[in-house]
A = this chain, B = another copy of it.
Amino acid sequence: MIDDLNRMTDTKQKILDTAERLFGEQGYAATSLRQVIAAAEVNVAAVHYHFGSKEDLLDAVVTRKAGPVTVARMERLDRLEAETKPVDVERVLEAFLLPTAEMAEHHPTFVRLMGRMLTEGMMPRIVEKHFQESAMRFIAALMRALPHLGREELMWRVHFMIGAMAHTLTGQPVMHMVDASTDFPTRVRRLVKFLGAAFRAPAEEKN
């Protein structure tokens, strides 16, 4: 019974681990299931038996690890808002970004995949399903920290931030500009400073 469970989770887990890594490194569309099953050393049909389809496999990969990030984000936001107001923008940004840096310590391949999912634009349903809750909560906290910004202006700034964040998480420097081996806490520290100043920029006169 325990052996059965172990064997089952063994195959499933090998597929999940390999898919997480390859989807993150190469992108979802650019990664073939046959690459995955070859690297995981399992049979072609195993993916469809355990997960159903390529898209469902991605969903399973994300489901496995997205929860803790969301929980950590929520907890940080809760603690932050329980303390004092006005809340500082950079603390809100940290509440959103530091959980990914912590996750990156033990699960760097998953963090890379998180970045990919935001930029590759594929599977919008999966992104929404797993990250919309904490994102909405984060936006609400930002609104309270930046009451002078209109909703549209704030949303655009969050949009810019997601681009910067995703590009940083994927760890793929364009044109060798940055050191690809820089650890994630350092990246996030720099990013928070950068975005903090950006969010505090005065709103436009007209809009």
Confirm or deny: A1 has a beta carbon within 8 angstroms of a beta carbon on chain B.
Answer: no
Least CB distance, A9 to chain B, in whole angstroms: 30
Q: Are A162 and B155 in contact (CB under 8 A)?
A: no
Mask for A165-206, Cβ within 8 A of B = 1, else 0?
111101011110111001000010111011111111100100
> Nearest B residue to A171 by beta-carbon distance?
B121
> Nearest B residue to A153 by beta-carbon distance?
B190
> Nearest B residue to A116 by beta-carbon distance?
B121
Which of B153, B158, B190, B197 makes the CB contact (< 8 A) with A204? B190
If A127-B174, A160-B194, A193-B204 are given as contacts, then 4 extra A-B residue pairs at C-beta distance below 8 Å, sorted by A number, are: A118-B174, A162-B177, A197-B201, A198-B198
- Give 21 A-B contacts (CB < 8 Å), ordered by A residue: A27-B121, A30-B122, A118-B174, A119-B119, A152-B178, A155-B177, A156-B182, A158-B177, A159-B177, A160-B164, A160-B190, A161-B164, A162-B174, A163-B164, A189-B204, A193-B201, A194-B198, A195-B198, A196-B201, A197-B200, A198-B201
Residues of A near any B CB (own CB < 8 A) = 27, 29-30, 118-122, 124, 127-128, 131-132, 135, 139, 152-153, 155-168, 170, 172-175, 177-179, 182, 187, 189-191, 193-201, 204
